Structure 1
Amino acid sequence: MINPEKAPEALNPPPAIMAPAGNRAAFLAALAAGADAVYCGLKDFSARMAAKNFNLEEMAALTRLAHERGTRVYITLNTLIKPDELASCAGLVDRLNRYVNPDGLILQDLAVAEIAREVGYNGELHLSTLANVTFPRALESIRDIPGTGFRRIVLPRELNVDEIKQMADACPDGLDLEVFVHGALCYAVSGRCYWSSYMGGKSGLRGRCVQPCRRLYTQQGRSGRYFSCQDLSIDVLVKVLLTIPKVSTWKIEGRKKGPHYVYYTVKAYQMLRDHFGDVRKRRDALDLLTWSLGRTGTHYHFLPQRPQNPVNPENQTGSGYLIGRVKGAAEGAYVDTREALLPGDVLRVGYEDEPWHSVIRVGASVPKKGRLYIKTGGRRKAAQNAPVFLTDRREKALMEMIDALSSALPKVTVPEPSSGYRPGMPTKPLKSRPPLDLRVGRRLERRTRRGAAGLWLSPEVLKGIPQQRFSDIWWWLPPVVWPDEEDLWQQVIDTVRDGGGRTFVLNAPWQTAFFRDAGSTALWAGPFCNIANPLAVRAVAAAGFKGCMVSPELGAGDYAALPRQSPIPLGIVLAGNWPLCISRIVPTSAASNQPVTSPRGEVAWIERYGQNTWIYPNWRLNLEGEKKALVQAGYRVFVTLDEPVPRHVQIKDRPGWWNWKVGLA
């Protein structure tokens, strides 16, 4: 176990500090702070679509200025790509390559790696934390995927420092690691969440999450923000990362934040990296982080001997610095400020999820303990005792630095697309095969149903199954395997294979690491691999998969398009209990197996399997009425997921279309 009290020997070169930028001012603030690298998104295919983001001309000018100052630029193309978006995505990557010249692309969809290779992009490819690389053996598996050439893996925030060390020890030559040190935490593992999509059609894997986890939930008469996380803040503990050579980059989350946050966090982590032995510098860095205007910070799992639960319903998890609470009548509401306010400061009255919350800008200076009258305008009235947060600040000195850099931006013109670039697509049609119904559960049913049986694999589930059944079962691996579990999973998988098990459904592409000698074993990419387009299907086929369960988030048109261009058989989750999310956070305030209700009356329940928390809605996915059309489209395997429903939870009879009718946003 790494000792955080022991002074580390600094790496040479030291880790790069990578800053977020969701708008031009934030990008220039990162340059002003001296960030080693900046990551940002474009108007399309970015996992932070709520940020302002950049067009190609802005990106080209900012990248040129950054390169002149020795700062690297990485573009996030880290959403799922739908079948009808492949051409536009390919055209965008082609134009990025020609006119912007970023140092690297950050992606989760393997189709983007295929596209980058086809257009001749020669920068680095980084695999996003959304790609779910959670255990050491996965790194070798990633390196072996033909034609991808990944240079860096962005690790999930859920790993502790010992697990990061294990990942680094297993990291092959030519690959390095990036670690988040600061910023927002998602309740779901690595942000791979279906909550927003299932509840309202806004996919987190497409950058459109509406953060239902931040809402106030009720269970057994008690209300709390049971799923709303504090911000990750490794702060002074980052010194132990200096002992891990393969960790090349410290990443700061926050592409929806303003320039103040970016400047303060970059400066803080520079101090902690470059002056970790200086007590005064450490104190100054902590002051900067306090004033960076994020949420309350937590070390989360970083120290395995002292883990912190990032969910505390008793604490506020609104973003920003709490400066006071609303007093006075609605028409004369005011706040007595705990800190001085500057002209241009941005305040939020209330929490982000409260429909009446409002954002106001300070017009004139207010001294510490001074009074600011709140004029929200319209019908939104500030509630008595509502919290008031300082969410962004415009200090004169910082704005002058940003203005100076802005005036140095070169004029860049990016030509309109001159041709309709089209990626190469699989064209050979598959032979028609009879459909197969596959029912997947946590235990093997005694009575026989039509079709095949599937089981979620675990050490416990094997105990009651006769070995002669092993060859008939489709064995499903969990979506997440943690570093301290991989030896156990290897042992369990080997036991099943030695007993005659032939078909496995892997719910992360990198789980092929457990099947280095697959032989006659049939590997299927599971639905948690989030495969959404023909190029991604082709990529998993090249990695050795014999079939693929497509992403359950797609709409009817997307489903219809996929089989026509698939090189391997496809399956689909037709019905059953699909989780809203899977988390490593142990729920301490909300009880398992009891209904928990959102402000909108949506009901869910919590289950624990191994180290993971699964959250399920109380209504089922149900596309059974569309099965005939899906058979005609070319799907072969039709999956029903059965989950034991707690006796206190009532399954609601409501349509289970998910995005079938509305399409994936």
Structure 2
Amino acid sequence: MTQLSLPELLAPAGDMSCFLAGMAAGADATYLGLKNFSARAGAENFSTTELARMVDLANQNGRKIYVAFNSLIKASDIPAAGRLIKRLQRDAQPHGLIIQDIGLIDVARQAGFEGELHLSTLSNISVSRDLLAVQKLGIQRVVLPRELSIDEIRQMDEAAPEGMDFEMFVHGALCWCVSGRCYWSSYLGGKSSLRGRCVQPCRRIYKQKGREGRFFSCQDLSIDVLVKTLAEIPHVRSLKIEGRKKGPHYVYHVVTAYRMLLDALGTPDWPGAKKDAEALLDMALGRPVTRARFLPQKDTHVSTPDEPTSSGLLVGKIQFEKKNGVPSWPFIKPRIELLPKDLLRIGYEDEPWHDTVPVTRRTPKAGTCTLRLARHKMPKAGVPVFLIDRREPELIHILHDWEKKLEKCRTVESPLVEWTPHLPKPIRARRQQDYLVRSSLPQGRETRGSRSVMTGLWMSANSVRAVSRTVMPRISWWLPPVIWPDEEALWQRLVIEALRGGSRHFVCNSPWQVGLFPMDDEKRRPHLVAGPFCNISNPAAVALLARMGFEGAFVSPEMSGEDYLALPRQCCLPLGMVLSGYWPVGISRHGMNQVKANEAFFSPKGEAFWARNYGHNLWMYPAWPLDLSAHRQELEAAGYAFFARLDENLPPNLPPTRRTSDFNWNGSLL
């Protein structure tokens, strides 16, 4: 294998030290976020003036920089997003934008961006038919889901159109839920993972019938030596390391390890490089690792409920020494030497004393390292302390050399710019039928609905075949939020079968599912509505849906009341929303580990949840339903044309419902 055939090695950068660490370790490209519109809002991120110097340094060294612009965009964000992209093009010229929100495709081009457009894994491109729809919109690269196996990646590769690249995560954090299909943090507290502010409720301890554990807290993904198989797949042109909230130690060690592996492919140096790379990854201070679903014959659980899955190296446990009967400041006796500016984490993310603190002075192994903590964060004795970032002198020296190179790069002023979006003329939509969306037919029989309410059914082989041709035209078929490659052929057959039976109304819960339908057949041309899992929240996204052939759209259920009421008067399609029912907080391809489906389980705050398998996915629900029915009148006045209620058959042991949720109606989508 020659150097020219190797895929790009893509490093994360949450701050300048991490960017320089990736450069020093040999990354071919770096992805990073700006101060706004980043899916890692907790990272330090960068300004446009900083980015201009970084792009200059990358260009001088034959590297690339991609800006992660992968946040859900509200209507009020569109002008600011366009102005920022226009400044990026004028001042920095990054090589590409990684975007989640389909509305940004048009915004970026209208703002004059000339680089590549990449679709984030949050956009959920998961089957081969998605790729043609994506390419028609001018997308050059797709970031594939972490849940795919090597066989499924090869299947996607065989169907990929010419000029389409794939980017694959090979190392770093895993989410229990499918990217772009997790509303857990948002439903519980208004902090959306789709806007980079997830508080990681999946990392908490849950209970079910006497069992407790971190059932949904995933280990880190590590493909490590198996990058050899990915490097042989033609359309896989970028291998991505997750970690924009990690420190330079992690970035340097992980990038160095994968650089070794890639450079040694097909050479006699492979055995030695493999050994050295594995040693470096062990030193990277990440979580315990898994290969998840990458090897289909070795499908394993991604969580270990009885063991912690926090990042870092355990270096000690909190101790107190009493003086005159009063506890002193907490301290640890470290198991390894600690260096100044090393970063320690106290306890686990869901504990009240969880905190990160820097080491202020060198502490030898078994010495005394005193921890100065805020009084309200004071831990108990025995709480574990982890090393999560290391500032060894050798790395500091390397970073200093690269800082000198950066100082010589061009600096720019970045004055504000003017930009106005060009959007299709809004329409005044007429009221349409509501939807009562069921997961199954009542008592297994077909349903007719009423004149004012259309029955929606989640599509499956059983439901399609249980409905007669007489009733078919009156059913709205709802496709699932995610389809995997091993079931793509089944869904194609079901769609054709429903069309032949007389069905015409379909709700696609991914925009790319339009590829399942014969849009050029006038006799069987379907009426397509974009479903609520498409995460539509701005008029630019609605305009793009109209071009794709959709006739209406459900908006994202995450929005605030203010955003809901403002959106219809700006859009060129009729809009609808989920008004009530059971909205899932997450959808996963990973099986439950030590937790039973269809039985209640509880959070540390006593919140009840339940999960159910639908097809190849596990849907997780809160025990208290969404209910915005009290706002229906003002929503109709604002211009909403249709509403949906999501009906579910509840597990028999679920606690009585004592409350409902208004989601983010009274707050704001953070």
Is residue 139 from structure 1 mapped to residue 108 from structure 2 by the alignment? no
Give the aligned CA root-mean-square deviation in angstroms.
1.7
1:121-158 CA-partner distances (Å, limit 9, x unpaired):
111000000000011111112122xxx31100000000
* Aligned position for 1:61: 53
* Aligned position for 1:407: 404
Distance 1:126 1:213 in 2: 28
* Aligned position for 1:5: none
* Aligned position for 1:244: 233
Distance 1:479 1:222 in 2: 30
Is residue 355 from structure 1 mapped to residue 352 from structure 2 by the alignment? yes
Give, in angstroms, the shift of residue 265 of structure 1: 0.7
TM-score under structure 2 length normalisation: 0.94
* Aligned position for 1:216: 205
Is residue 579 from structure 1 mapped to residue 578 from structure 2 by the alignment? no
SS for the counterpart of 1:495 is helix
Is residue 384 from structure 1 mapped to residue 381 from structure 2 by the alignment? yes
Distance 1:651 1:151 in 2: 50
Amino acid at match of 2:602: T
Q: Do 1:74 and 1:103's aligned partners in 2 also have CA atoms closer than 8 Å?
A: yes
Amino acid at match of 2:380: A
Distance 1:357 1:638 in 2: 42
List gaps (5 residues or longer) in structure 1.
1-8
Distance 2:449 2:539 in 1: 35
Select which of 220, 231, 248 maps to 2:220.
231
Distance 2:352 2:426 in 1: 51
Is residue 599 from structure 1 mapped to residue 604 from structure 2 by the alignment? yes
Q: How does 1:41-60 map to 2 (within 5 A)?
A: 41-60=33-52
Give, in angstroms, the shift of residue 191 of structure 1: 4.9
SS for the counterpart of 1:574 is strand
Distance 1:12 1:307, change over 3 A: farther
Give, in angstroms, the shift of residue 328 of structure 1: 4.8
Is residue 636 from structure 1 mapped to residue 628 from structure 2 by the alignment? no
Is residue 172 from structure 1 mapped to residue 161 from structure 2 by the alignment? yes
Q: How does 1:440-459 map to 2 (within 5 A)?
A: 440-445=437-442, 448-449=449-450, 450-459=452-461
Distance 1:388 1:191, change over 3 A: farther
Distance 2:92 2:329 in 1: 51
Is residue 366 from structure 1 mapped to residue 363 from structure 2 by the alignment? yes
* Aligned position for 2:147: 158
* Aligned position for 1:422: 420
Q: Do 1:11 and 1:245's aligned partners in 2 also have CA atoms closer than 8 Å?
A: no
* Aligned position for 1:275: 264
Distance 1:452 1:651 in 2: 29
Distance 2:240 2:15 in 1: 18
Select which of 268, 278, 293 maps to 1:286.
278
Q: How does 1:152-551 map to 2 (within 5 A)?
A: 152-276=141-265, 278-328=270-320, 331=328, 333-409=330-406, 410=409, 412-419=411-418, 421-430=419-428, 432-445=429-442, 448-449=449-450, 450-517=452-519, 519=522, 520-551=525-556
Give, in angstroms, the shift of residue 551 of structure 1: 0.7
Distance 2:380 2:280 in 1: 31
* Aligned position for 1:3: none
Q: Do 1:435 and 1:635's aligned partners in 2 also have CA atoms closer than 8 Å?
A: no
Q: Which moved more, 1:364-373 or 1:66-75?
A: 364-373
Is residue 22 from structure 1 mapped to residue 27 from structure 2 by the alignment? no
Q: Do 1:20 and 1:39's aligned partners in 2 also have CA atoms closer than 8 Å?
A: yes
Give, in angstroms, the shift of residue 370 of structure 1: 4.4
Distance 1:188 1:22 in 2: 23
Q: Do 1:23 and 1:53's aligned partners in 2 also have CA atoms closer than 8 Å?
A: yes
1:554-578 CA-partner distances (Å, limit 9, x unpaired):
1122112221122111111111100
1:416-441 CA-partner distances (Å, limit 9, x unpaired):
2143x1111222423x4234221001
Q: Which moved more, 1:130-139 or 1:643-652?
A: 643-652
Q: Which moved more, 1:248-257 or 1:272-281?
A: 272-281
Is residue 645 from structure 1 mapped to residue 650 from structure 2 by the alignment? yes
Distance 2:532 2:616 in 1: 20
* Aligned position for 1:559: 564
Amino acid at match of 2:292: Y
Distance 2:303 2:144 in 1: 21
Distance 1:425 1:307, change over 3 A: same
Give, in angstroms, the shift of residue 407 of structure 1: 2.6
Distance 2:417 2:546 in 1: 32
1:309-356 CA-partner distances (Å, limit 9, x unpaired):
111112211111222333455636443433332222111110122111
Distance 2:198 2:498 in 1: 38
Q: Do 1:261 and 1:292's aligned partners in 2 also have CA atoms closer than 8 Å?
A: yes
Is residue 627 from structure 1 mapped to residue 632 from structure 2 by the alignment? yes
TM-score under structure 1 length normalisation: 0.95
Q: Do 1:192 and 1:204's aligned partners in 2 also have CA atoms closer than 8 Å?
A: no
Give, in angstroms, the shift of residue 111 of structure 1: 1.3
Give, in angstroms, the shift of residue 464 of structure 1: 2.6
Q: Do 2:48 and 2:414's aligned partners in 1 also have CA atoms closer than 8 Å?
A: no
List gaps (5 residues or longer) in structure 2.
322-326
1:66-105 CA-partner distances (Å, limit 9, x unpaired):
1111110000110111001100000001000100100000
Amino acid at match of 1:17: L
SS for the counterpart of 2:493 is helix
Q: Do 1:11 and 1:243's aligned partners in 2 also have CA atoms closer than 8 Å?
A: no
1:505-525 CA-partner distances (Å, limit 9, x unpaired):
000111111113353310111
SS for the counterpart of 1:205 is helix
Identity percentage of aligned residues: 46
Is residue 614 from structure 1 mapped to residue 619 from structure 2 by the alignment? yes
Amino acid at match of 2:496: D
Give, in angstroms, the shift of residue 538 of structure 1: 0.4
Distance 1:429 1:543 in 2: 18
SS for the counterpart of 1:137 is helix
Distance 1:339 1:79, change over 3 A: same
SS for the counterpart of 1:365 is coil
Distance 1:332 1:557 in 2: 48
* Aligned position for 2:324: none
* Aligned position for 2:26: 34
Q: Which moved more, 1:355-364 or 1:198-207?
A: 355-364
Give, in angstroms, the shift of residue 42 of structure 1: 0.3
Distance 1:542 1:615 in 2: 33
1:389-438 CA-partner distances (Å, limit 9, x unpaired):
1100111121122222223323523332143x1111222423x4234221
Q: Do 1:444 and 1:453's aligned partners in 2 also have CA atoms closer than 8 Å?
A: no
Q: Do 1:56 and 1:414's aligned partners in 2 also have CA atoms closer than 8 Å?
A: no
Amino acid at match of 2:528: L
Give, in angstroms, the shift of residue 653 of structure 1: 2.8
* Aligned position for 2:66: 74
Aligned length: 652
1:171-210 CA-partner distances (Å, limit 9, x unpaired):
1011110000001011111253100000000000011101
Select which of 94, 99, 119 maps to 2:111.
119
Q: Do 1:575 and 1:641's aligned partners in 2 also have CA atoms closer than 8 Å?
A: yes
Q: Do 1:218 and 1:597's aligned partners in 2 also have CA atoms closer than 8 Å?
A: yes
Amino acid at match of 1:427: K
Amino acid at match of 1:251: K
